[in-house]
Amino acid sequence: MTITLKNKDTLIIDDFKLKCCLGKGGLKKNKMEGDYSTPIGEFEIGKLYWRADRVKKPDTKLICKKIKKNMGWCTDIKNKSYNKEIKINNKVKHEKLYRKDFKYNYFIVLKYNYKKTIKGKGSAIFIHLTKNYYKTAGCLALVEKDFLILAKLTNKKSKIIIN
Protein backbone atom coordinates (compact mmCIF):
# COMPACT_ATOMS: atom_id res chain seq x y z
CA MET A 1 0.00 0.00 0.00
CA THR A 2 1.50 3.30 -1.08
CA ILE A 3 0.30 6.77 -0.12
CA THR A 4 1.32 9.54 -2.51
CA LEU A 5 1.33 13.31 -1.99
CA LYS A 6 0.06 15.09 -5.11
CA ASN A 7 -0.05 18.84 -5.81
CA LYS A 8 1.11 19.64 -2.25
CA ASP A 9 -2.43 19.34 -0.87
CA THR A 10 -3.76 15.87 -1.66
CA LEU A 11 -2.85 12.43 -0.32
CA ILE A 12 -3.82 9.63 -2.69
CA ILE A 13 -4.38 6.14 -1.33
CA ASP A 14 -6.23 3.60 -3.46
CA ASP A 15 -9.28 5.41 -4.88
CA PHE A 16 -9.31 8.00 -2.10
CA LYS A 17 -8.10 11.58 -2.49
CA LEU A 18 -7.65 13.20 0.92
CA LYS A 19 -7.09 16.94 1.29
CA CYS A 20 -4.05 17.70 3.46
CA CYS A 21 -1.64 20.46 4.43
CA LEU A 22 2.12 20.41 4.88
CA GLY A 23 4.97 22.46 6.33
CA LYS A 24 5.16 26.28 6.14
CA GLY A 25 8.59 25.89 4.51
CA GLY A 26 7.18 23.78 1.66
CA LEU A 27 8.80 20.56 0.45
CA LYS A 28 12.56 20.10 0.84
CA LYS A 29 15.00 17.40 -0.16
CA ASN A 30 17.54 18.58 2.44
CA LYS A 31 15.29 19.14 5.43
CA MET A 32 16.91 20.52 8.60
CA GLU A 33 15.66 20.72 12.19
CA GLY A 34 13.40 23.75 12.68
CA ASP A 35 13.09 24.77 8.99
CA TYR A 36 9.30 24.14 8.94
CA SER A 37 9.62 22.09 5.76
CA THR A 38 8.17 18.69 4.91
CA PRO A 39 10.81 16.21 3.73
CA ILE A 40 10.81 14.86 0.18
CA GLY A 41 11.27 11.13 -0.24
CA GLU A 42 9.76 7.70 0.30
CA PHE A 43 9.20 6.78 3.94
CA GLU A 44 7.88 3.84 5.91
CA ILE A 45 4.88 4.33 8.17
CA GLY A 46 5.43 3.89 11.90
CA LYS A 47 3.11 3.52 14.88
CA LEU A 48 -0.25 5.21 15.24
CA TYR A 49 -0.61 7.08 18.55
CA TRP A 50 -3.96 8.09 20.04
CA ARG A 51 -5.39 9.93 23.03
CA ALA A 52 -7.59 7.31 24.71
CA ASP A 53 -9.12 9.96 26.99
CA ARG A 54 -10.51 11.83 23.95
CA VAL A 55 -10.95 9.42 21.03
CA LYS A 56 -11.40 5.70 20.50
CA LYS A 57 -8.71 3.44 19.13
CA PRO A 58 -9.00 3.57 15.33
CA ASP A 59 -9.75 0.64 13.05
CA THR A 60 -6.28 -0.02 11.63
CA LYS A 61 -3.67 -2.70 11.00
CA LEU A 62 -0.94 -0.34 12.25
CA ILE A 63 0.68 -0.89 15.64
CA CYS A 64 -1.15 1.48 18.02
CA LYS A 65 0.06 3.14 21.21
CA LYS A 66 -1.88 5.19 23.77
CA ILE A 67 -0.46 8.65 24.42
CA LYS A 68 0.39 9.24 28.08
CA LYS A 69 0.98 12.55 29.86
CA ASN A 70 4.72 11.99 30.21
CA MET A 71 5.37 11.17 26.52
CA GLY A 72 7.43 13.34 24.22
CA TRP A 73 9.38 13.16 20.98
CA CYS A 74 13.05 14.16 21.26
CA THR A 75 13.99 17.17 19.09
CA ASP A 76 17.28 17.77 20.91
CA ILE A 77 20.18 17.34 18.47
CA LYS A 78 22.55 16.85 21.43
CA ASN A 79 20.61 13.89 22.82
CA LYS A 80 21.13 10.21 21.91
CA SER A 81 17.34 9.78 21.66
CA TYR A 82 17.03 12.42 18.89
CA ASN A 83 13.95 11.76 16.76
CA LYS A 84 12.61 9.02 19.04
CA GLU A 85 9.79 8.78 21.56
CA ILE A 86 10.97 9.67 25.07
CA LYS A 87 9.70 10.11 28.58
CA ILE A 88 9.56 13.90 29.08
CA ASN A 89 12.61 15.37 30.78
CA ASN A 90 12.82 19.16 31.09
CA LYS A 91 16.56 19.04 30.33
CA VAL A 92 15.89 17.58 26.86
CA LYS A 93 14.20 19.56 24.04
CA HIS A 94 11.09 17.71 22.93
CA GLU A 95 7.72 17.86 21.26
CA LYS A 96 4.99 17.14 23.79
CA LEU A 97 2.68 14.34 22.60
CA TYR A 98 -0.06 14.84 25.21
CA ARG A 99 -1.21 18.23 23.90
CA LYS A 100 -3.92 20.60 25.07
CA ASP A 101 -5.16 21.06 21.51
CA PHE A 102 -6.61 18.33 19.28
CA LYS A 103 -3.76 17.96 16.76
CA TYR A 104 -2.27 14.84 18.34
CA ASN A 105 -5.53 13.14 19.30
CA TYR A 106 -4.34 10.82 16.54
CA PHE A 107 -1.02 10.81 14.72
CA ILE A 108 1.13 8.44 12.68
CA VAL A 109 4.92 8.55 12.72
CA LEU A 110 6.67 8.90 9.38
CA LYS A 111 9.99 7.09 9.52
CA TYR A 112 11.91 10.08 8.25
CA ASN A 113 15.49 10.29 9.63
CA TYR A 114 14.51 7.40 11.85
CA LYS A 115 16.62 4.25 11.47
CA LYS A 116 20.07 5.80 10.98
CA THR A 117 19.31 9.14 12.57
CA ILE A 118 21.41 12.11 11.48
CA LYS A 119 21.36 14.85 14.12
CA GLY A 120 19.93 18.08 12.78
CA LYS A 121 18.21 16.51 9.72
CA GLY A 122 14.77 16.90 11.28
CA SER A 123 12.57 15.13 13.79
CA ALA A 124 8.95 14.54 14.80
CA ILE A 125 7.54 14.26 11.27
CA PHE A 126 4.00 12.97 11.69
CA ILE A 127 0.66 12.73 9.94
CA HIS A 128 -1.61 14.46 12.46
CA LEU A 129 -4.94 16.26 12.64
CA THR A 130 -6.04 19.68 11.41
CA LYS A 131 -9.36 21.50 11.34
CA ASN A 132 -8.39 24.40 9.06
CA TYR A 133 -5.58 23.15 6.80
CA TYR A 134 -3.13 25.80 8.10
CA LYS A 135 0.47 25.01 7.26
CA THR A 136 2.36 22.88 9.81
CA ALA A 137 5.86 22.89 11.30
CA GLY A 138 6.84 20.15 8.79
CA CYS A 139 4.22 17.44 9.26
CA LEU A 140 1.33 16.42 7.04
CA ALA A 141 -2.12 17.06 8.50
CA LEU A 142 -5.63 15.81 7.68
CA VAL A 143 -9.09 16.35 9.10
CA GLU A 144 -10.11 13.57 11.47
CA LYS A 145 -12.52 11.75 9.14
CA ASP A 146 -9.83 11.55 6.44
CA PHE A 147 -7.17 10.51 8.96
CA LEU A 148 -9.39 7.59 10.02
CA ILE A 149 -9.81 6.53 6.35
CA LEU A 150 -6.02 6.63 5.94
CA ALA A 151 -5.52 4.64 9.16
CA LYS A 152 -7.98 1.98 8.02
CA LEU A 153 -6.31 1.56 4.60
CA THR A 154 -2.68 1.42 5.78
CA ASN A 155 -0.62 -1.28 7.44
CA LYS A 156 2.92 -1.58 8.76
CA LYS A 157 4.22 -2.34 5.24
CA SER A 158 2.70 0.87 3.83
CA LYS A 159 4.94 3.61 2.48
CA ILE A 160 4.39 7.28 1.74
CA ILE A 161 5.91 9.10 -1.23
CA ILE A 162 6.34 12.85 -0.82
CA ASN A 163 7.65 14.71 -3.88
pLDDT above 90: residue 80: yes
For every residue of 34-82, DSSP letters joined together read: TS-PEEPEEEEEEEEEE-TTTSPPPS-SS-EEE--TTEEEE--TTSTTT
**Cα dist. 2→13, 71, 117, 135 in Å?**
7, 29, 23, 23
How much is the pTM? 0.96
**Cα dist. 27→4, 59, 87, 147 in Å?**
14, 30, 30, 21
Euclidean distance between CA atoms 56 and 52, whole angstroms? 6
User: In this structure, are residues 4 and 158 in contact, taking their beta carbons and an 8 Å threshold?
Assistant: no
24-79 pLDDT, tens per residue?
A: 999 999 999 999 999 999 999 999 999 999 999 999 999 999 999 999 999 999 99
Q: Is 87 helix (H, G, I), strand (E, B) or coil?
A: strand
pLDDT above 90: residue 89: no
106-153 pLDDT, tens per residue?
A: 999 999 999 999 999 999 999 999 999 999 999 999 999 999 999 999
User: In this structure, are residues 61 and 155 in contact, taking their beta carbons and an 8 Å threshold?
Assistant: yes
The domains of the chain, with CATH numbers, are 2-162 (2.40.440.10)
pLDDT reported for residue 17: 96
